Structure 1
Amino acid sequence: MAENKTQATSASVADFIATVSNERRRADTLTVLQIYKELTGHPPVMWGPSIIGFGERHYAYESGREGSIAAAGFSPRKTNLAFYVGSNFAGAEALYKRLGKHKKAVSCLYINKLTDIDEQVLREIIAKDYAQSMANKG
């Protein structure tokens, strides 16, 4: 079975953040970094070349595919901040409605800048998604 493309690396999170050319996005990234450290209790680790992850969890599918992924994480992209969060936790729909300006996919949340959203609601989404992720490990 093929290995996951995205794996934890020893690359420096600080060095990666320094490459974020948009000053506002870099500042937002530093704020989000602190939020994740606070909510997960884990240090940041680079997963692949562009994902900042916190904690780790094992997964196994009925197909036999299994591996490890970051339990929580985000990526400062050129056009937005991408948060790897789902909607499988209690109250998700109501929280996303209160969040502010964002786009949502199945397991990604896209925000242009932190001033577009309610940061407290973002904290709740991250915390609840992380708790759900950890409850489903293994």
Structure 2
Amino acid sequence: MTTSAAGSKKAPATAPTDASVEAFLAAVADERRRDDARSLAALMTEITGETPRMWGPSIVGFGSYHYRYESGREGDAPLTGFSPRKTSLVVYLVGGYEERYPGVLAKLGKHKTGKGCLYLNRLADADEATLRELIDRSVRVHRGANT
């Protein structure tokens, strides 16, 4: 739970829900983005061994881990996940993945990066084996490995 400026507690913006992942993916308007999202869900299920679950209204997450910052802020987040947005597929990885895996990223193909986020216009733009490696390494870090 987080506390607002007024002091009232509210649920975290990104928490697991009981919403249907399949219904969410079926509602993705663009057919190619919908197909890419389903393929990415299958890939992440295979890598993590976890069942996909909605986190908030627009993130498909796999498994979970607990985090605690030095500031004392803590919470739960998916081990990995994605969101099929209008302009790109957003893949959620471990923070600092750009510094951890520059050699792997160099082999990925067309992409953009952000803090803990990997942006792909199309799944076909990324080398599948390299994407698999990035997701696997990120999940292992969240599970406690230092890789």
1:10 and 2:10 aligned: no
Shift of 1:116: 1.1
**Partner residue in 2 for 1:95:** 104
1:105 and 2:117 aligned: no
**Partner residue in 1 for 2:77:** 69
Q: Report the identity percentage.
A: 45
1:28 and 2:36 aligned: yes
User: Larger Rg: 1 or 2?
Assistant: 2
Distance 1:55 1:107 in 2: 17
Deviations 1:103-135 (A, max 9, x none): 011210000001111111000000001101111
Task: Give yes or no for contact 1:88–1:132 (8 Å, CA) kept in 2.
Answer: no
Question: TM-score if structure 1 supplies the norm length?
Answer: 0.92
1:133 and 2:142 aligned: yes
CA-based RMSD:
1.7
Task: Give yes or no for contact 2:92–2:117 (8 Å, CA) kept in 1.
Answer: yes
Gaps of 5+ in 2: 4-10
AA in 2 matched with 1:29: A
Distance 1:89 1:109 in 2: 9
Secondary structure of 2:64's counterpart equals strand
Question: TM-score if structure 2 supplies the norm length?
Answer: 0.87
AA in 1 matched with 2:55: W
Alignment: residue pair count: 136
1:50 and 2:69 aligned: no
Task: Give yes or no for contact 2:15–2:56 (8 Å, CA) kept in 1.
Answer: yes
Distance 2:82 2:61 in 1: 7
Shift of 1:67: 1.1
**Partner residue in 1 for 2:27:** 19
1:78 and 2:86 aligned: yes
AA in 1 matched with 2:142: S
Shift of 1:60: 1.2
Distance 2:100 2:67 in 1: 24
AA in 2 matched with 1:44: P
Dislocated runs of 4+, deviation >6 Å: none
AA in 1 matched with 2:45: K
